[in-house]
Structure 1
Amino acid sequence: MLKNSAGRYWTVLLVNFGIVLIAVYVSLTNGVFDMTVMEVLKTLLRIHPVPEHDLVIFDFRLPRIIVAALVGFGLGVAGAAIQGISRNGLADPGILGINAGAGAAIVIFMFFFEGRITGSGWLSILAMPLFGWIGGLGTAVLIYFFAWRDGRLDPQRLILVGIAAGSGLGALSLYLSLKMNPQDFEMATVWFTGSIWNANWQYITSMLPWLVILIPIIIRKSYILDLLQLGEESAKGLGVSTEKEKNILLLTSIGIVSACVSVSGNIGFVGLLAPHIAKRLVGIHHYRALPVCGTIGMLLVIVSDFIAKTVFSPVELPVGVVISIIGIPYFVYLLFKTRV
């Protein structure tokens, strides 16, 4: 079948990478302070460096682009894994309540510490993403506990518990944010809608190890995701320890999502859109779909971030708003398609 051919897979993957590189080039050279290609290359290669160009590239644009790429890749892969585990094409990392848990932890941090910890060093810089990561994982453990039933993890119960937990934590976040001072409330609102405007190299360092360790685990177990689509009984008949494998895949996905949302805020729809687009391009087999999901997620976040920071300049939209504008119509389309 052409859709599952190796040639089609490599063509799609290479084209995606090419488009991502074009998006990176456009993001590096365009903005409030435009730069030529030669100026960017000289800055990156350290040929007659100019302080102004160093500031724009290394302090503002490059960290932001790298964070966008990592977050997009991570959410795309995790979204495909969660859809595979739940066998629900409308599942999304945000549905599990992880985003809401990270958001509640961030709001608590802002409420009690006013968004910062005094002092210098990495702790003061990474305090907010660290709170978000702890909140995301803590919420995941709680949801996991309630979704466990009769010695097994129920995928449908997992989604229902995730929705309930997300609603409760969202209400808690709203309650606390209304009691903040105006400056912290504005910061919390920006984080809720998803934003990477404050990206820096420390944020990249904090999330990169999680992605480097956990994403290969999901890709290595892609055949398990294929077998789970046959149903648990069929997968067990083929020798798969379904509960053990689902636990590994779910915990790995939760770790990736927690690492991503801890630095980017509540960016939705990437984990929903990327798997559907990837499977339309290369077929339903996860060992081919997962890398394509990652590259599509990268492209979505990088392009959306560029639109967010340039189209309404000097006002900057949160990247989550731009992705939602794209994602909501597609979600409605998928909903009606599923009903049919």
Structure 2
Amino acid sequence: MIQQALIRKQRIILSLLFTLIFVTIVIGTGLGHSSLSYDRLIPTLLGQGTFKEEFVLFSVRLPRIIITLLAGMALALSGAILQGITRNDLADPGIIGINNGAGVAVALFFLYFPIEAGSFIYLLPLVAFIGGLLTVCLIYLFSYHKKQGLQPVRLVLIGIGFSFALAGVMIVLISSAEREKVDFIAKWLAGSIWGTDWPFIWALLPWLVLLIPFTLYKAHRINLLGLSEPVAIGVGVSLERERIVLLFTAVALAASAVSVTGGIAFVGLMAPHMAKALVGPRNQLFIPIAILIGGFLLLLADTVGRNLVDPDGIPAGIMVALIGGPYFMYLLLKK
């Protein structure tokens, strides 16, 4: 039974996060090379803006903002699931190699399977999912011990190894690709938000619409998986089946996000930790907060990064890494 005080606290925090996200969106729409004055924002939204104002808002700013927000939410939820099923606070789709596995698949698809642009956009999340799934299967295989089961620390260490190895594969792909395709892969590696059109939103949105409710439905199971294995088995949890289903969910979320944003790490690490610090470790309480924190973190990183340096700004992945790297080291030393 969840205490009413905690539920009220969760609702207050969710309201504050929605407010922060809204304020960041409003600020982000008015910043950039093509300015859009804030007093013209509502008229433009209502269809009363000039051609330039409507183009800047609907074709440049809003698609990028929505993509960034959705991707941050997906990465945060993926990290929360991974930390729950591995019982390891250092688990993150970027750190343990899932993002890089998805990236290698996207790069191979981009380089060697040229198809029409319209189909390419909608196939990207599926291709990234296949790459991430193959990667996580290998990581799981190497981390699993017949007598001891899944070893969380071993999973993180092996995942880090896979992450570096797959980054090396990306470098090899760059060295053998054409110049214009190299630019795409380099931007992906830096975590540059490259999918900034409405079709990318429609390609990403269905994954979140399906998997966020599914994860919330499974929140109680994730709580049980966080206990010791004998206790979880004792209350009737099918450990391996639940882990595999939730692992597939985490991979799908991370892969769909990085397929349109590039290689972004640490969002899935930081957001669940911040949420747990606010309302405790129960998944029903902290997962909705972690989702909003993840969206806010990536949205803030992209908004700040793209306005710091002219002309292209700093990729969101680098901005997040500037915060996430030291945070990861802090957790590593603490744990």
Determine if the TM-score, normalized by the shorter chain, exceeds 0.5: yes
Offset of residue 186 of structure 1? 2.4
1:267/1:320 contact within 8 Å kept: yes
Instruction: Name the residue aligned to 2:273.
Output: 276
For residues 1-340 of structure 1, what are the structure 2 equivalents within 5 Å?
Answer: 5-46=6-47, 48-112=48-112, 117=114, 119=116, 122-126=118-122, 130-147=126-143, 149-150=145-146, 154-156=150-152, 157-338=154-335
Offset of residue 201 of structure 1? 1.0
Offset of residue 171 of structure 1? 1.7
1:143/1:165 contact within 8 Å kept: yes
State the distance in 2 between where 1:141 and 1:11 align.
Answer: 39
2:192/2:317 contact within 8 Å kept: yes
Once the two structures are superposed, residues 210-260 of structure 1 have per-residue CA deviations (whole angstroms, 9 ceiling, x without a partner) of 111112111111122222222111111122222222222111111111111
1:326–1:164 distance in 2 versus 1, CA, 3 Å: closer
State the distance in 2 between where 1:201 and 1:151 align.
Answer: 49
State the distance in 1 between where 2:143 and 2:209 align.
Answer: 28
| Higher mean displacement: 158-167 or 240-249 | 158-167
State the distance in 1 between where 2:243 and 2:157 align.
Answer: 17
| Higher mean displacement: 94-103 or 19-28 | 94-103
Offset of residue 279 of structure 1? 0.7
Offset of residue 39 of structure 1? 1.6
1:214–1:91 distance in 2 versus 1, CA, 3 Å: same
Where do 5+ consecutive residues of structure 2 fail to align?
Answer: none
Offset of residue 152 of structure 1? 9.3
Offset of residue 134 of structure 1? 3.3
Q: TM-score, normalised by structure 1?
A: 0.90
1:245–1:163 distance in 2 versus 1, CA, 3 Å: same
1:195/1:265 contact within 8 Å kept: yes
Which amino acid is 2:132 matched to?
G
1:28/1:62 contact within 8 Å kept: yes
2:129/2:251 contact within 8 Å kept: no
2:101/2:135 contact within 8 Å kept: yes
1:204–1:171 distance in 2 versus 1, CA, 3 Å: same
State the distance in 2 between where 1:67 and 1:321 align.
Answer: 17
Offset of residue 80 of structure 1? 0.9
Offset of residue 328 of structure 1? 1.1
| Higher mean displacement: 305-314 or 241-250 | 241-250
Once the two structures are superposed, residues 315-339 of structure 1 have per-residue CA deviations (whole angstroms, 9 ceiling, x without a partner) of 321110000011111112222222x
Once the two structures are superposed, residues 82-114 of structure 1 have per-residue CA deviations (whole angstroms, 9 ceiling, x without a partner) of 00111111111123322111221233234436x
2:145/2:151 contact within 8 Å kept: no
1:58–1:229 distance in 2 versus 1, CA, 3 Å: same
2:95/2:266 contact within 8 Å kept: no
1:306–1:234 distance in 2 versus 1, CA, 3 Å: same
State the distance in 2 between where 1:323 and 1:294 align.
Answer: 16
2:194/2:262 contact within 8 Å kept: no
State the distance in 2 between where 1:93 and 1:3 align.
Answer: 33
Identity, in percent, stands at: 37
SS in 2 for 1:94: coil
Which amino acid is 1:138 matched to?
L
1:3–1:96 distance in 2 versus 1, CA, 3 Å: farther
Q: TM-score, normalised by structure 2?
A: 0.91
Which amino acid is 2:150 matched to?
D
Which amino acid is 2:20 matched to?
I
Which amino acid is 2:41 matched to?
V
State the distance in 2 between where 1:141 and 1:229 align.
Answer: 20
Where do 5+ consecutive residues of structure 1 fail to align?
Answer: none
